[in-house]
Amino acid sequence: MRLVFALAMLAGTAALAQQPVPAVTEDDDSPRFGVRPKLKTYPQETAKKALAATIEAVEKGDVSYLVAQLLDPGFVELRIADRAKQYEAAVELDLARLRDLQARNPEKFAPEDRLPNDRAKFNALIIEQSRERAFKQLVKDVEMKLLDDPQAMRDLKKLYRDGTLSATETGAKLTHADVKDRALYFRKIGTRFFLENRHEDAPPPKKDPGKGPDEKKM
């Protein structure tokens, strides 16, 4: 099946399985990539609600929220970290040029707007801006995948309406008799469910010791 649309074109299932589970809880309102969770608008306390939230986010065009808060954060972090490295050289060059311009024209820039000369702070800024670019590109990739593959949304809606839900070691999965080639997996982290990038025959992601999921509520 072509679902989880953004993930179909992105490799990394095996690598993702080695990633630790990020600390995410229902009460955690900290932003990811500048996007805060909106759990009243997009609830995730069950797998079906997480899928409904995903469908609603797509229909509203809220793809940034989908990527930042509804897709498996371990997978997203893996993709962002990998892609950000590809931007670092260009970002460093852009920032170096801007810093040189500021040094030549100090009267045109407020002190708080000037880039740091300290190497550690400058490197941190390179990483920060590279990650921002990587996130924006991942969102664009998802948007293009949705446009190129409308069947993915039809499959998601079919699973939501009539899918069979069952527990897994790390969360839950949905299957449907008419969607034969792939199950839709959910990863439970804290009290929230996230769409997972996992094929049925792939190993589940690692969990932090002593933080097994509560599988009673799906």
pTM of the model: 0.80
**Continuous H helices in the chain:** 13-16, 47-59, 63-65, 73-104, 119-148, 151-162
Taking only Cα atoms into account, the Rg of the chain, rounded to an integer number of angstroms, comes to: 20
pLDDT at 29: 74
Contact between residue 63 and residue 143 where contact means Cβ atoms under 8 Å apart: yes
- pLDDT of 123-149, one tens digit each? 999 999 999 999 999 999 999 988 888
Question: Is the pLDDT at 216 greater than 50, yes or no?
Answer: no
Helix axes 119-148, 151-162, angle to 10 degrees: 80
Only one residue has tokens 């065009």, namely: 61
* Mean pLDDT in residue range 50-61: 95
Q: What pLDDT, on the 0 to 100 scale, is given for residue 33? A: 94
Give 68-124 pLDDT, tens digit per residue: 999 999 999 999 999 999 999 999 999 999 999 999 999 999 999 999 999 999 999
Place of tokens 């950000």: 84
pLDDT at residue 15 tops 50: no
Under the phi-then-psi rule, with left for phi > 0, alpha for psi from -120 to 50, and beta for the rest, what region is 61?
left
Please report where in the chains the tokens 């997480």 appear, as a residue.
50
